[in-house]
Amino acid sequence: MSSDIVVLGGGPGGYAVALRALTRGQTVTIVEADKVGGTCLHWGCIPSKAMLYVGEVLDTAAHADRFGLDLAVNGVSVEGIGAFREKVVANLHKGLAGLLRSKNIEVVAGHGTVADDGRTVLVGQQRVSGNALVVATGSRVRSLPGIDVDGSVVITSDEATRLPRIPRRALVVGSGAVGLEFASLWRSLGAEEVTIVEVLDRIAPLEDPDLSKQLARNYRKRGITTLAPARVESVKVEGETARVEIVEDETTRELHVDTVLVAVGRAPRTDGIGLAELGIVGERGYATVDEWCRTPADGVFAVGDLLAPPALALAHAGFAEGFLVADVIAGAAQPQSIDYAQVPRVTYTSPEVASVGLTEPQARDAGHDVVATQYSLRGNAKGIIHDSDGFVKVVAARDGEVLGVHVIGPHATDLIAEAQLITAWGALPSEVAQLVHPHPTLAEAIGEAHLAAAGTPFHTH
Ligand SMILES: Cc1cc2nc3c(=O)[nH]c(=O)nc-3n(C[C@H](O)[C@H](O)[C@H](O)COP(=O)(O)OP(=O)(O)OC[C@H]3O[C@@H](n4cnc5c(N)ncnc54)[C@H](O)[C@@H]3O)c2cc1C
């Protein structure tokens, strides 16, 4: 079997290559060991967001007396939530598989390994060849030395996604997006105790420090404990619970929990599939690529979670890399490499956190004379309706362009789309201040923050 491009892995990175390549007149075959859609659709973005939506509904119901509703939640059914989650996933999977079929993109089912010609994927007895090969095998969960994942008490996001219970007392190790999302979800679903341990000095350590601070404050109010900097010293499983030793400020404390979620990042899936033999596996197992996702092996590309930072392990970064690679292979004129600072970062906790561009410390480290402005959602009509104490923070160069926008509050992950246009196009705060935002909306807070940054504050004390 032969086509212009063979793609190994049908997750967001892989299927984006295929759909884009088609628009460039190329034929594509995808080799997929499991289901198209990958981690994102089946084990990541989508199942977690479906469950987080349920958590949001429960939180709203729990505080409904605020607006005069006497609501009682008579029960939370893990099976019911699971059925909802699986329906959402199945719906999207059916749609994606149908889309690929309708475009005549062949999906070969099976585990593939790359032959040493760097053009052929071997799937059992079958040989699938292309003029170019794109490796998009994604990533897998990882743990820390000394923490043994048993899949029941000590788990990773793979088990957490389809956990047959709501934890009562949970410990979450790591405060990246995955750890924060499950901590937030479990508390919303009724967990009595949720503790997050972060080894760095604040939770959500990749975000602007003001966002981390506000998120920790919100979590405190919600009854979620955050320990940072702190580290897990030992985890001992005893039947259906675990005894965990945590060191904070040189003091050791012990927690008894029924669930330990290890959320310390993911490892690229590059081993044992012929990639090392091609010389395209670099430090910590990441694929070695240049700014156009080309590996050192001629005609071999890599996209998605296989790429080392500054690439971002996010589905939409994978889409962008897929588009780029398809354009490069098709010989499109001047394909744009990806500026990862301009890729929005999103965390769907309660409250949501989203950002694009540089944080305030990053902007200062880059040598900018920085002006940082915050607009509180307490001054925004929709923010008040949502009872949010979140904010929009604009980081700009003095007398210059907007360098970063950071949002915490309801629908922050949607609001960041406008901010992306602002930072990517290098707009001045005064230019954004001229844009008329619809009223009343949360998006007005983006406008207000830029009005303030431009020196013409409106609804600001
Ligand atoms: C809990 C969780 C929540 C997340 N939430 C978000 C979110 O809200 N937003 C966001 O942007 N990102 C989120 N992510 C990250 C996102 O899922 C990944 O960035 C994205 O899936 C990476 O896409 P990919 O194509 O590189 O790899 P994957 O999605 O991992 O796909 C790789 C595919 O390759 C296949 N494969 C692997 N090896 C072989 C082989 N040898 N032969 C054949 N097939 C193979 C796999 O079966 C898989 O289908 C989340 C991740 C997790 C774990």
Q: What is the whole-number distance in angstroms between the Cα of residue 172 and the centre of ligand 1?
A: 21
Q: How many CB atoms lie within 10 A of CB 243?
A: 13
What pLDDT is stored for residue 245 in this prediction?
97
Residues with CB under 6 A from ligand 1: 8-14, 31-34, 38-40, 43-45, 48, 111-112, 136-139, 157, 178, 269, 273, 304-305, 313-316, 318, 346, 348
Residue nearest to atom 19 of ligand 1 (CA): 314
State the average pLDDT for the chain.
Answer: 97
Helix (H, G, I), strand (E, B) or coil at 28: strand
What pLDDT is stored for residue 334 in this prediction?
84
Q: What is the whole-number distance in angstroms between the Cα of residue 439 and the centre of ligand 1?
A: 38
Residue nearest to atom 1 of ligand 1 (CA): 44
Token couple for 189: 């679903």
308 pLDDT higher than 90? yes
> Hey, where are the domains in the chain?
2-141+267-340, 154-264, 351-453
Substitution candidate for ligand 1 out of 15, 36, 39, 123 with most atoms within 8 A of CB: 39
Kindly state the percentage of the chain with pLDDT values over 90.
98
Q: Distance (Å, rounded) from C-alpha 415 to C-alpha 383?
A: 13
| pLDDT average, residue stretch 96-114 | 98
pLDDT digits (tens, 9 = 90+) for 111-146: 999 999 999 999 999 999 999 999 999 999 999 998
Q: What is the whole-number distance in angstroms between the Cα of residue 39 and the centre of ligand 1?
A: 3
pLDDT digits (tens, 9 = 90+) for 294-307: 999 999 999 999 99
351-453: CATH topology: Enolase-like; domain 1 (3.30.390)
Q: Distance (Å, rounded) from C-alpha 83 to C-alpha 86?
A: 5
Q: What is the whole-number distance in angstroms between the Cα of residue 43 and the centre of ligand 1?
A: 8
Ligand 1 nearest atom to the CA of residue 38, by list position? 49
Of the candidate ranges 290-294, 331-335, 388-392, the one whose mean pLDDT is the lowest: 331-335
Cβ contacts of residue 228 below 8 Å, gap of 6+? 175, 196, 197, 198, 199, 200, 201, 202, 203, 205, 216
What pLDDT is stored for residue 61 in this prediction?
96
Helix (H) or strand (E) holding 205: none
| pLDDT average, residue stretch 75-99 | 98
Q: What are phi and psi of 450, to 5 degrees?
A: -80, -30
Q: For helices 315-329 and 12-23, what crossing angle results, to 10°?
A: 40
| pLDDT average, residue stretch 175-196 | 98
Are residues 370 and 364 in contact, defined by beta-carbon separation less than 8 angstroms?
yes
Q: Distance (Å, rounded) from C-alpha 205 to C-alpha 265?
A: 13
Give this prediction's pTM. Answer: 0.97
What pLDDT is stored for residue 461 in this prediction?
84
Q: What is the whole-number distance in angstroms between the Cα of residue 355 and the centre of ligand 1?
A: 21
Helix (H, G, I), strand (E, B) or coil at 406: strand
Which residues does the annotation mark as catalytic?
A: 439
Please state which CATH number belongs to domain 2-141+267-340: 3.50.50.60
Q: Distance (Å, rounded) from C-alpha 26 to C-alpha 131?
A: 10
Q: Evaluate whether 2-141+267-340 and 154-264 have a shared fold.
A: yes
- Tell me, rounded to whole angstroms, the distance of Cα 34 from its chain centroid: 21
| Architecture, CATH, for domain 154-264 | 3-Layer(bba) Sandwich (3.50)
Q: How many CB atoms lie within 10 A of CB 101?
A: 11
Q: What is the whole-number distance in angstroms between the Cα of residue 53 and the centre of ligand 1?
A: 21
| Gap between the terminal Cα atoms of the chain | 67
Measured at the alpha carbon of residue 102, what is the angle toward residues 97 and 105, in degrees to the nearest 5? 70
